Amino acid sequence: QVQVVESGGGLVQAGGSLRLSCAASGSIFSINVMGWYRQAPGKQRELVADITRGGITNYADSVKGRFTISRDNAKRTVYLQMNSLKPEDTAVYYCNVQAIRGYWGQGTQVTVSS
């Protein structure tokens, strides 16, 4: 059984920072891409950032220069450091782990107040 568990969400004022973590556990091997997606109320889920096993990163234009994705392959964990947060970053943030198939976490709420 595979588990993907996010942590680190919360309420922060505009301009503040949060760090999200996501750990994969269980029978999951040869993880390739790990990524973060978000879904705001009434909107579709969108890619925020992802990172390959070799460390190649990809960011949505809206977060470039503010968010940094990183991972620890030994711990099967991916992180998202979010700085200079804006109210429009408010959403549920989901972790996605790609191995033989894809796995989603349950999501963590990030709320940025103005």
d(C-alpha 94, C-alpha 110), whole Å? 10
Question: Residue 29 burial (CB < 10 Å; 0-12/13-18/19+)?
Answer: exposed
pLDDT over 90 at 29, yes or no: no
* Structure confidence at residue 105 (pLDDT): 97
Segment 76-82 shows an average pLDDT of 98
* Structure confidence at residue 17 (pLDDT): 98
Q: Which of 66, 70, 37, 65 is nearest to 53 (CA)?
A: 70
Segment 4-8 shows an average pLDDT of 96
Q: How far apart are the first and last CA of the chain?
A: 41
* Structure confidence at residue 48 (pLDDT): 98
Segment 82-101 shows an average pLDDT of 97
Contact 59, 69 (CB under 8 A): yes
Segment 85-103 shows an average pLDDT of 96
Q: What average pLDDT does the chain have?
A: 96
Question: Residue 20 burial (CB < 10 Å; 0-12/13-18/19+)?
Answer: buried
pLDDT single digits (tens) 9-21: 999 999 999 999 9
Percent of the chain topping pLDDT 70: 100
* Structure confidence at residue 1 (pLDDT): 86
**Which tokens is 47 given?**
């890619």
